Amino acid sequence: MFAPIVLFVYNRPWHTRQTLEALAANFLADQSELFVFADGPKPEASRNDLDKIQEVRKIVKEKPWCKNVQLIESEVNKGLAQSVITGVTQIINQYGCIIVLEDDLIISPWFLTYMNEGLELYQTASNVYSINGYMFPIETDRTDTVLLPYTSTWGWGTWKNKWKTFDFGMSLKEQIILNTHLKARFNLADYDYSSMLSYGNNSWGIRWHYSVFIRNGLGLFPTKSLVQNIGFDGSGVNCGNGESYTNLCNDKIQTEVIEIIDLSFFSIYLKYFSVPNQSTPKRINLFKIIKSLVKKCFQKL
């Protein structure tokens, strides 16, 4: 049996349709269960907002995007953080593993294949906490996988026993904030993830990153991205305006068990996030956009 897919949607009809179309085009879609959690309207929602929410739900019901599709509709607005935490917990407790998507992610036809292979290969690896489908646009000819000491919120999967480590209160966050070395280790190169710990209770993403970090956990990543985020158009609450620079890989990713971090790729990965010295304006602009959006996308809807 393949891992169930959980999709979180709200009020973006166009984005939701693109996500579902890409999902349906996956090689394992017709053999996979899809659970769609549709968040409800905010108290001050306008008629236009209400119409968009209903349109999204209509799209989900439009056709069988996967083998089976179950729509879970909320009458109230939970926000992304609560929706993800409760939705993932509900499904993963039932099935033991899970694949998670949001309504602004376009996935490669090989995404489900990669995710299921990864979840199968690493299910007994004590130090691997997630299988991740997104990779920043790093220039490489490789189409395989690497282990990195990070997490991703854009197309990912995990197992019940790893999700149980999710630390809601982040009881050790002050030690990270106050310790220079721990803070540097917690951050992604120049990305100040540690500053998010102060308001992290409103974010599921930073709490997941924290939960994996304090256990010295790793995540599996493809060297080329199987996920493209199309939400940088001002339509989302957490992500602002900007171009999506990720090139979607439509090739099959070679997946096999890896036991150590590939330091050569890891160094390229970290170098990518370093402030450019003599780069083109587009590269500088890309750095600023991603730095801003990574922070925003860890916040609550």
256-269 burial code (b ≥16 CB/10 A, e <16): eebeeebeebeeeb
Shortest CA distance to 154 belongs to which of 229, 230, 223, 235? 229
Look at the block and give the residue holding tokens 């992500």: 239
Domains of the chain: 5-296 (3.90.550.10)
Residue by residue, pLDDT tens for the chain (301 residues) are 899 999 999 999 999 999 999 999 999 999 999 999 999 999 999 999 999 999 999 999 999 999 999 999 999 999 999 999 999 999 999 999 999 999 999 999 999 999 999 999 999 999 999 999 999 998 889 999 999 999 999 999 999 999 999 998 899 999 999 999 999 899 876 678 888 888 755 789 999 999 999 999 999 999 999 999 998 764 544 433 344 557 799 999 999 999 999 999 999 888 887 755 434 334 444 444 444 444 444 444 3
Tokens of 180: 């220079």
Task: Identify the three-state secondary structure at position 267.
Answer: helix
Shortest CA distance to 154 belongs to which of 170, 134, 169? 134
> Half-sphere exposure of residue 168, counting CA atoms within 13 Å on the CB side?
7
Task: Identify the three-state secondary structure at position 48.
Answer: helix
Sign (positive/negative) of CA torsion 208, 213, 217, 223? positive
State how beta strands 105-107 and 68-73 pair: unpaired
Q: What is the pTM of this model?
A: 0.88
